[in-house]
Amino acid sequence: MNWFIHTIGSSIGKKLLMAITGLGFCGFLAVHLAGNLTIYGGKASFNSYSEHLHALEPLVTIAEWGLLTFAVVHVLTGAVLFYQNLKARPVRYSVNKSAGGRSLGSRTMPYTGILLLAFVIFHLINFHFADRTVTTIYAIVSGAFKHPAYVVVYIIAVAIAAVHVSHGFWSAFQTIGANHPKYMPLVRTIGTVFSLMVGIGFGAIPVYLFIFV
Amino acid sequence: MTKAINLTLKVWRQKGPEDKGRLETYDAKDISTNMSFLEMLDVINEQLTLAGKEPIAFDHDCREGICGMCGAVVNGRPHGPEKGTTLCQLHMRHFSDRDTIFIEPWRSRAFKIIKDLVVDRGALDRLIQAGGYISANTGGAPDANAIPVPQASAELAFDAAACIGCGACVAACPNASAMLFVGAKVSHLVLLPQGEPEAAQRATAMVREMDSLGFGNCSNERECEAECPKEISITNIARLNREYFKSRFFSNVK
């Protein structure tokens, strides 16, 4: 198994880890968003979604540990890559100018990443680890978004997530070598559409709860 | 129509690899817009020499964009602002009177500065060496088309083989990564039957060497293909990734 450790420790191996875990998170975001849409059905609909989801135990716990493992791999590998990339150019240029290759997403990946990590921790403490013995998830969520500060924090956070995904999605395909003249334009379009869906889809929920509930 | 412009140059001056180096300011007066960028530097160097000062050291050779020797970062852009050209192909008509031009060497841990704008790109040679050999028969000239090569593959291989090894991809990459260079070299050999037998060995050896030379990691910023004077595409990086995974997971190469 020595060859395997060497492989994932190489520059391309580390990128492969980022790509696989990143695509995993894209899948998670899609499922999470689909589930969250039940909140537009009202209190009963959202609580019922939550109950049905947790009726799938132990699958939910397994998925949670899987996501945690992915997160640890994604964050640690990302941190190593960021550090190595900084070290690869010890003396910086006095003038930096893009030739048009970089995007808002690509140039901010490490920074949006660290902000997302902070947000995920905040988000889990808020909703995931909240005491649900005496209250329902709908009450917790709708209660939280009565505060404008929460709404603003969540909108900023999902905007950051959208920017991160806008580069991450197509970049993951490029890294795993799936760059094909026929499909790459489609992958890039899906990446853009998906990042907009993440931004608008998750961002609309706090606004909806704040205004209408 | 010939026009003359006056410029302010901010040039990186560094006596040797151990010197700290600094940007120095020079006035470039009465520069013909028909000059190439390197001819403009020649004029400045003439003036510096006549004034008893050390001329600016810069690399150059063919001055027609095919040797890969020249290169400097001009106002933050390797080989200057024009697309698909080397520094020697950049002409002063692309600048305006009273412009300030910053001229810096390629910056990467893997490229040590020898003097001023001259960097040691030996790391790229070591990557080529790590790539090893291909299987070609020696002896008399082989018959034409003895080895069938589809025209499409030949074209793709040639697109990759257009790399002149100038190092602009490393200079342009925000992470100082050499993935476009290695991607081009791996691609131009693996796309042809002559390079196929050693493909697995080559991909692993070149990536291993690339990592040990201190280049950064690719993060798909796409600055390399935008700055490459030969406009080599990042599809070659995707092909390198595929070849590396094939080599690591599906071949006998340890």
What's the rounded Cα separation, in Å, for the pair B148 and B192?
9
Residue A39 half-sphere exposure toward CB, CA atoms < 13 A: 25
In this predicted structure, what is the pLDDT of residue B1? 63
Domain count within chain B: 2
In this predicted structure, what is the pLDDT of residue B145? 84
For the sheet with B100-104, list strands across it.
B22-32, B4-13, B100-104, B73-74, B77-78
What's the rounded Cα separation, in Å, for the pair B37 and B229?
15
B159: domain CATH number is 1.10.1060.10
- State the 10-residue block means of pLDDT for chain A, 213 residues long: 92 98 98 96 94 93 97 98 97 94 95 97 92 87 93 97 97 95 95 97 96 85
3 state SS of B81: coil
Task: Tell me the ipTM for this assembly.
Answer: 0.92
- Please report, for residues A15, A137, A184, B71, B253, the alpha-carbon distance to residue A169 in angstroms, rounded to integers and kept in the order given: 13, 31, 11, 34, 31
Quick check: is A1 in a domain? no
Quick check: is A131 in a domain? yes
Return the H-helix or E-strand segment holding A136.
none
Give the end of a domain, one of B104, B130, B145: B104
**A102 CA: distance to closest CA in chain B (Å):** 5
In this predicted structure, what is the pLDDT of residue B254? 87
Confirm if B161 and B210 have CB atoms less than 8 A apart.
no
What's the rounded Cα separation, in Å, for the pair A152 and A140?
17
- Please report, for residues A116, B83, B167, B179, B206, the alpha-carbon distance to residue B113 in angstroms, rounded to integers and kept in the order given: 38, 25, 13, 21, 23
**B143 CA: distance to closest CA in chain A (Å):** 33
Q: How many CB atoms lie within 10 A of CB B248?
A: 23
Quick check: is A94 in a domain? no
A155: domain CATH number is 1.20.1300.10
Structural domain boundaries enclosing B189: 122-250
Quick check: is B177 in a domain? yes
Quick check: is A60 in a domain? yes
Domain count within chain A: 1
Regarding whether B149 and B189 lie in a shared domain, the answer is: yes
Partner-chain residue, chosen from A88, A101, A106, that has the shortest CB–CB distance to B108: A88
Q: What is the 3-state secondary structure (H, E, C) of A92-117?
A: CCCCCCCCCCCCHHHHHHHHHHHHHH
Quick check: is B109 in a domain? no
Partner-chain residue, chosen from A15, A95, A99, that has the shortest CB–CB distance to B223: A99
Asked if A99's CB is within 8 angstroms of B238's CB, the reply is no
Q: What number of C-beta contacts closer than 8 Å exist between A and B?
A: 135
Spans in chain B with pLDDT lower than 70: 1
What's the rounded Cα separation, in Å, for the pair B141 and B70?
35
Regarding whether B228 and B164 lie in a shared domain, the answer is: yes
**B238 CA: distance to closest CA in chain A (Å):** 4
B9: domain CATH number is 3.10.20.30
Partner-chain residue, chosen from B75, B104, B217, that has the shortest CB–CB distance to A11: B217
Quick check: is A208 in a domain? yes
